[in-house]
Amino acid sequence: MYTGFEGNFQNIQPANIFYSMAPKGQATLDENENAITQLNLATEKILSRIPDIIGIDPSFGCPVYLKCWLTLGQLNTDKTERIIREGMRWRKEKNSEFAITQPLNPLIEKALRLYIDGNSKNGFVVGSAYLGVFKLRDILSKVGVEAGLYHWLQVLGRTEKLCIERSKELSQRYNNEDIRLWPALKKNWFIINAKHLSYFECIHTGVIQMAVALVKMGTSYFPGLEGTIVIINAGRFMELALRAVRPLLTGSNADLIVFGYDELAWKAFIHKHVDPDQLRTPFGGTMEYNDLYNPDKDYMKI
């Protein structure tokens, strides 16, 4: 039986961590008729307010994607509209639509490996990253924090588009259900292996700066990345790192679940939602894992 911690960092044993930071913004969305009615009314209101935004990015006309922004706004129409417009201003400043069409920097891509693997049991996207082998200090000393963040802007933007398209497809597949109300565990999965991650790598100022900015970027400006983030093989010092990012995750579309080194525990949990043949071996799967840099084979193609 798993022991759950709701953001509680007290008395956590590093060998068997299991806790969840569930997004508070989703607590208002129960799978019942009242929730559907509430969500539909909020969707209709916000659609009537943002025709100019939809003209720029038609994705905002999709109820499944719009729900992600409504979650950030806690179903408050005024707040949601403000968040959407702030997000669009940020995207314009960063020229994100152009950025995601450009090739990734091969030097950064090699150092910060991200995989798009198979599908979850419900058909959603499954991604993974071996954080423990990232050469964070080394790559930032070579390219700088801004270049690192530009890389993640490209990656998050591309991945969000993939997740949006997948959500649209699944909304049609499950036409007898409203997938907007599904919990994070039934949506996209992003698995991070922290094995071998050293304290030395994480205490670097640039690494901390990039990590905090990355979480804020993902939760605030790419909310279509909804789903579950699972960190496996997390050591005790991860508690400190999670304290820094926890406030940014509250009210977002991401549910964070963290395990320690109990491989049987985290594998059993992951396999409830993702079949082993949809994952690479460091993340509890059976797919081939080649640690050599091969952009045609090992890296995400989105």
pLDDT tens-place string over residues 44-58: 999 999 999 999 999
Length of the chain as a residue count: 302
**pLDDT computed for residue 291 by the predictor:** 53
For residue 201, which of 238, 233, 229, 231 has the smallest C-alpha distance? Answer: 238
Architecture of domain 14-23+96-283: 3-Layer(aba) Sandwich (3.40)
**pLDDT computed for residue 32 by the predictor:** 65
Cα 212 to the chain's mean position, in Å?
A: 14
- Is residue 245's pLDDT more than 50? yes
37 CB-near residues (< 8 Å, 6+ apart): none
Give the strand order in the sheet containing 125-129.
18-21, 254-259, 227-232, 188-193, 125-129, 114-119
Residue ranges per structural domain of the chain? 14-23+96-283
Q: What is the rounded distance in angstroms from the CA atom of residue 194 to the CA atom of residue 183? A: 25
Over range 202-221, report the average pLDDT.
89
- Is residue 29's pLDDT more than 80? no
**pLDDT computed for residue 290 by the predictor:** 61
**pLDDT computed for residue 228 by the predictor:** 95
Over range 168-179, report the average pLDDT.
90
Q: What is the rounded distance in angstroms from the CA atom of residue 40 to the CA atom of residue 33? A: 10
More confident residue, 281 or 34: 281
For residue 205 the two structure tokens come to 């100022």
Over range 129-147, report the average pLDDT.
92
Residue 247 confidence class, pLDDT cut points 50, 70, 90: confident
Over range 184-207, report the average pLDDT.
88
Q: What residue has token string 């000393």?
A: 141
**pLDDT computed for residue 76 by the predictor:** 95
| Rounded-to-10 torsion of CA 20, 214, 152, 149 | -160
Over range 5-13, report the average pLDDT.
32
**pLDDT computed for residue 73 by the predictor:** 95
Residue 79 confidence class, pLDDT cut points 50, 70, 90: very high
165 CB-near residues (< 8 Å, 6+ apart): none
135 CB-near residues (< 8 Å, 6+ apart): 111
Q: What is the rounded distance in angstroms from the CA atom of residue 297 to the CA atom of residue 178? A: 35
- What is the chain's Cα-based Rg? 19
For residue 283 the two structure tokens come to 């993340």
Q: What is the rounded distance in angstroms from the CA atom of residue 174 to the CA atom of residue 177? A: 5
